[in-house]
Amino acid sequence: MTNSKERLVQWMRDAHAMEKQAERILETEAGRIENYPELKAQLERHLDETRQQAERLSKRLEQLGGGTSTTKDVLGKMMGFAQGLSGLFAGDEVLKASLANCTFEHMEIASYKMLIAAAEEAGDPESKRVCEQNLREEEAMARWLGDHLGSMTRQFLVREASRATAKH
């Protein structure tokens, strides 16, 4: 295996762990939100996509003879759980989670762009295709969050004025 292929496999393992972290974050957040139905539905849609992204990466890693990293996946899940609960005691939890999600989506976008370039360098069109598919879904989620942040903020402020919470 060439160095670029070895690095691609390593980074794809990192991306798989990143998706496992995202999965845990989305599960936690979607499970806590009740009064923001549009946001909850979008988080649940992206949770399904995230699971598919992790599965695509896992299959590709198996095809490359690598496999995923159990250690990285477990650490990613633990970090995702902690991040998902990080706003638990904040009155503006739904907005803080949305900001964190925007940041995480852009990290995922950057990771997939890096992986696409690495796959090109390694001469691996199938890994490139998998990463391009994941990239499109991450870009769509980032776009959705960006497009809805203003309306979520206004909705939060109206709810706050009436002493409601994200859940109640």
Average pLDDT (146-151) is 96
Is residue 166 situated within a structural domain?
no
Res. 69 pLDDT band, cuts 50 70 90 = low
Query: CB under 8 Å to 144, separation ≥6 — which residues?
Result: 42
Q: Residue 19 half-sphere exposure, CB side, CA atoms within 13 Å?
A: 30
Is residue 56 situated within a structural domain?
yes
Residue that the structure tokens 């989506």 belong to: 105
Most confident of 31-35, 55-59, 68-72: 55-59
Q: Which two tokens stand for residue 63?
A: 């095809």
Buried b (16+ CB within 10 A) or exposed e, 34-63: eebeebbebbbbbbebbbebbebbbebbee
Is residue 69 situated within a structural domain?
yes
Is residue 66 situated within a structural domain?
yes
Query: CB under 8 Å to 117, separation ≥6 — which residues?
Result: none
Is residue 20 situated within a structural domain?
yes
Is residue 167 situated within a structural domain?
no
Res. 98 pLDDT band, cuts 50 70 90 = very high
CB count, 10 Å around CB of 85?
15
Res. 78 pLDDT band, cuts 50 70 90 = very low
Is residue 168 situated within a structural domain?
no
* Overall number of domains in the chain: 1
Residue 16 sits in which domain range? 3-161
- Residue 34 in this model has a pLDDT that exceeds 90: no
Res. 66 pLDDT band, cuts 50 70 90 = confident
CB count, 10 Å around CB of 165?
14
Residue that the structure tokens 């776009």 belong to: 143
- Residue 13 in this model has a pLDDT that exceeds 90: yes
CATH number reported for the structural domain that contains residue 156 in this entry: 1.20.1260.10
Is residue 26 situated within a structural domain?
yes
Mean per-residue pLDDT over the chain, rounded: 87
Average pLDDT (32-55) is 95
